[in-house]
């Protein structure tokens, strides 16, 4: 099985300067609003429908579609979704938006929000603390809360899929709504 194609940010930027390229950013709307490659469009990974994206393209269907995320992991997952749907001319941007920013390439910056990773650490820490205290003060079975959270964190680390993160991403404070909170700026 051939490896899925990747492109580094400098090579992609050179292609962008020569002509029309289409880049989709598969991060959450809040991450996208904070900073994104100037030409990228936001299509969050959890809402990604490869067929709809391909139908709505502004360039030829033969042209590659570039997917970008924060560092490349979600981009690879998006790439796999496209491949599974039968669209093979999809290229993951190596190093993601972090590499794009570090290379000094054009970005759009907007309102900064609390990262999803930070929110997960806060909620997980809170649940472990509450489970431990309830286990000590109320009933030993409450320690199960802490064990459940620990098992969830291990699962997230092993599979690179975080259920708590996916749940938090859907919370109202992680959505962009209204004109003054537009995720495009």
Supply the residues annotated as catalytic: 69
Beta bridge partner(s), residue 36:
108
Q: Which of 28, 27, 10, 3 lies closest to 170, judged by CA? A: 28
Stretch (H or E) spanning 135 = helix 116-137
Spatial distance between the Cα atoms of 149 and 76, rounded to a whole number of angstroms: 27
Radius of gyration of the chain (CA): 19
């Amino acid at each position: 099985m051939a490896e899925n194609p990747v492109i580094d940010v400098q090579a992609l930027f050179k292609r962008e300067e020569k002509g029309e390229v289409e880049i989709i950013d598969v991060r959450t709307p809040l991450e996208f609003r904070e900073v994104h490659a100037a030409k990228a469009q936001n299509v969050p990974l959890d809402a990604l429908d490869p067929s709809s994206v391909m139908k709505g393209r502004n360039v030829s269907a033969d042209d590659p579609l570039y997917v970008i995320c924060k560092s490349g992991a979600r981009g690879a997952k998006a790439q796999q979704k496209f491949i599974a749907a039968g669209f093979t001319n999809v290229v993951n941007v190596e190093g993601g938006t972090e590499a794009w920013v570090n290379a000094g390439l054009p970005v759009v910056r907007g309102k900064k929000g609390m990262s999803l990773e930070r929110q997960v650490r806060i909620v997980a820490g809170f649940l472990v603390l509450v489970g431990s205290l309830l286990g000590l003060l109320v009933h030993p079975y409450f320690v199960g809360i802490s064990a459940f959270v620990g098992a969830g964190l291990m699962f997230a680390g092993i599979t690179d899929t975080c259920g708590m993160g996916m749940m938090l991403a859907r919370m109202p404070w992680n959505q962009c709504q209204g004109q003054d909170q537009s995720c495009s700026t």
